[in-house]
Structure 1
Amino acid sequence: MTVLVTGGAGYIGSHMVLALVEAGESVVVIDNLSRGFSAMLPRGVPLFIGEAGDENLVEGVIAAHGVSSIIHFAGSVVVPDSMRDPLGYYHNNTMTTCNLLSAAVKCGVPRFIFSSTAAVYGNPAQVPVPEHAPARPLSPYGTSKLMSEIMLHDTAVAHGLRYVALRYFNVVGADPQARVGPAAPGATHLLKIAVEAATGQRAKIDVFGTDYPTKDGSCIRDFIHVSDLVEAHCAALAYLRQGGAPVTLNCGYGRGHSVLETIDAVRRVSGRNFAIHTAGRRPGDIMTMVADSSRIRATLHWTPRYDDLETIAAHALAWEEKLLRDRHGAQQHALSA
């Protein structure tokens, strides 16, 4: 009954592994550590350093650890990067998922949870956007995930695999106890960048596009706390274990906040001001993306706990301050050695 978590040493994956371990699950991780850190994993969790698309590696891990469920996080997630390197995204997202599914089918793994994205919708005609809305991605990132969803569906039809595909909206924040959080350099997510600015690590924060037809001209996003996202995965695992049919679900709160509102929330929570630099719109960016979350709430009986922007910002700030303290302590230790 072991759960294999790909990308389990990364931002979302490390929160997932922590939640599974706390629930008494047997967990094993595959991560290439390109954006993850082995130190983020609880003690005793086996880590295999390698690619989730390496079928030989995956098959060996499944066989050695009796894997019966896979939660697949590993992949590339930055929209502007995907515009510059589409083939890299199709390789790391779509082809990796194809190989992972192949290994799962070959080894008879019956359950699969896939991290998809709201980027599959593009600019939706209806907001909040329901799962049945047309998929019209504006970036190779969104297309790579949509292609993976199609493969997942077809694999389920052909081989009886049961799955839940969760279309993430904007995942933010950190563990409320500051045990894990986003730690990779070169942050691209708004809230992470904002708390870096609030803690003096950035001179300014760039806002791309302030001329959208929204309430303050900036893009609007449905920000979901990473711990609530992880709880949705736990609920999805329970659903599949109870015999639930394959399903694709939005994973968001159902209400949006603008980029400028989010920055203001970080300013309030931190009590610090920082500069904003406005720039033009970026190719591939979506104006407004808010989830219709009624299906996930009904299907998985999921009720979020941290649906409050200032709470999310406070948890992100606490984690960032912890990182700074740890970094300072390491520097002091190195100087005294």
Structure 2
Amino acid sequence: MDTVVVTGALGTLGRWTVEKLASDYEILAVDLQEPHSSPYETVEYLAADLTDQGPVWEILCDVQPDAVVHLGAVPGAGHRAGTETFVNNVTSTYNVFTAAGEVGADIVWSSSEATYGVTYRDEARPLASLPVDETHPQRPEDAYGTSKVVSEIVAERTARRYGVSVASLQPSWIQVPGAYETPTARESFDPDNPTPSGSLWSYIDVRDVARLVRCALETQRTGHDRYIAVAKDNYIDTSTATAIDRAWGDLAPEWNPKGDNAAFLSAKAQRDLDWEPAHSWRTAEGETVDGPRLKGSS
């Protein structure tokens, strides 16, 4: 059984990912705290600050994992001051990636579609082209998105220097079944003034992201690649073409989307990793499912 270190293991995505992997992997789950006990026979928990290089290196050198799933980070803009967000995310990622490279562990981690930039505050910022895929220029608008761009450079360097594979997953706004935040966002959506548009009204179910992590772990790869992960539809129950036209007007790139198709493409993940999103807000908002065995408040 392969050994995987999962950082940020007590966060929302971390807990769903551990649940997805626990039956088939030996897991060391790392977070700033540890739970009172583990509900999994194959999962041990350890507390560590990823911005402290020493513990990170000691953990990975002791465990010698086959792979590292790096999910530990300030999860978006607006949670902490911009400087703290940037320093925390870049430092922790550098420490984890370099230690993983030293022990020869492949890496799957959570970057963000915020690297491409969409809006800044209340101002709509037209993109260079639509729909957005991994070839679109990266032009982050805040400290969070900037931290992910820099971390992707670290990912590229890690793959090149150490010869390990690194998959930079770029999920959109992550939602939990039965607790989607999209209804509130949809209610506040004004089709006559659809800004700020956030991630172009895109989202992704946490189950789909956890499954993408597993797909990336289990696909033979080399080097570094980015993979956008969004649901197939937008969450506003309005045609994407209408929303884009009203947000950007004549500044909108030429594109004729069908219905409520997402303005981001996950085609690369489907092609390379045999993954595609399976969940939509239309059913998941009111869905009752058994979540991770380890519960949490985040």
Q: TM-score, normalised by structure 1?
A: 0.68
Matched, 1:120 2:115: yes
Matched, 1:91 2:69: no
Tell me how far 1:256 sits from its aligned partner.
Answer: 1.6
Superposition deviation, residue 129 in structure 1:
0.5
Secondary structure, aligned partner of 1:19: helix
1:225 aligns with 2:226: no
**Residue in structure 2 matched with residue 43 of structure 1 by the alignment:** 40
Deviations 1:306-327 (A, max 9, x none): 2x21222123x6689xxxxx99
1:233 is aligned with what amino acid? V
How far apart, in 2, do the equivalents of 1:31 and 1:213 lie? 38
Give, in whole Å, the separation in 1 of the partners of 2:217 and 2:184.
33
CA contact (8 A) 1:9 1:41 kept: no
1:148 aligns with 2:151: yes
Cα displacement string for residues 50-72 of structure 1 (whole angstroms, at most 9, x for unaligned residues): 21233322233223333120111
1:168 deviates by 0.9
- 1:67 paired residue among 49, 55, 65: 65
Distance 1:41 1:231, change over 3 A: farther
State the Cα distance separating 1:259 from its structure 2 match.
Answer: 8.5
**Preserved CA contact (<8 Å) 2:160 2:223:** no
User: Within 1, Cα distance between the matches of 2:285 and 2:216?
Assistant: 26
Partner residue in 1 for 2:7:
6
Q: For 1:19 and 1:48, locate their aligned partners in 2 and report how far apart those are by CA, in whole Å.
A: 19
Aligned in 2, Cα 1:30/1:11: closer, same or farther, shift over 3 Å? same
Distance 1:289 1:21, change over 3 A: same
CA offset at residue 42 of structure 1?
A: 3.2
- Alignment CA distance shift 1:54-1:209 (3 Å): farther
Kept after mapping to 2: 8 A contact 1:156/1:163: yes
2:38 & 2:13 partners in 1: Cα distance? 12
Deviations 1:208-265 (A, max 9, x none): 8775357xx96642221111111111110011xx24442111111343222999xxxx
State how many pairs are aligned.
261
CA–CA distance in structure 1, aligned partners of residues 37 and 210 of structure 2:
15
Would the alpha carbon gap of residues 311 and 137 (structure 1) be closer, same or farther in structure 2, given more than 3 Å must change? same
- Unaligned ranges ≥5, structure 2: 119-126, 240-260
| Contact 1:127-1:289 within 8 A present in 2 as well | no
> How much does 1:21 deviate?
0.8
- Mapped to 1, the partners of 2:189 and 2:143 lie a distance apart of 19
Change (3 A) 1:256 1:208: closer
Whether 1:291 aligns to 2:269 is no
Structure-2 separation of matches of 1:91 and 1:289? 32
Q: Which has the higher helix share?
A: 1
Which whole-Å CA distance do the structure 2 matches of 1:301 and 1:318 have between them?
24
Q: Is the 8 A contact 1:166 1:248 kept in 2?
A: yes
Is the CA contact (8 Å cut-off) linking 1:31 and 1:49 kept in structure 2? yes
User: What does the per-residue CA deviation read over 1:18-70, in whole Å, with 9 as the maximum and x for residues that have no partner?
Assistant: 11112x1111111014xxx7379533421111212333222332233331201
Question: Deviation at 1:165?
Answer: 0.3
Q: Is the 8 A contact 2:57 2:95 kept in 1?
A: no
**Partner of residue 181, structure 2:** 190
Contact 1:118-1:289 within 8 A present in 2 as well? no
* Percent identity of paired positions between Structure 1 and Structure 2: 23
Conserved? CA contact 2:164–2:223, under 8 Å: no
Check conservation: 2:230, 2:277, Cα contact below 8 A.
no
Tell me the amino acid that sits aligned with residue 43 of structure 1: Y
Match of 2:17 in 1: 16
Q: 1:297 and 1:40 mapped to 2: Cα distance?
A: 37
Once residues 153 and 42 of structure 1 are traced to their aligned partners in structure 2, the CA distance between those partners, rounded to angstroms, is 36
What is the TM-score normalised by the length of structure 2? 0.76
Matched, 1:212 2:207: no
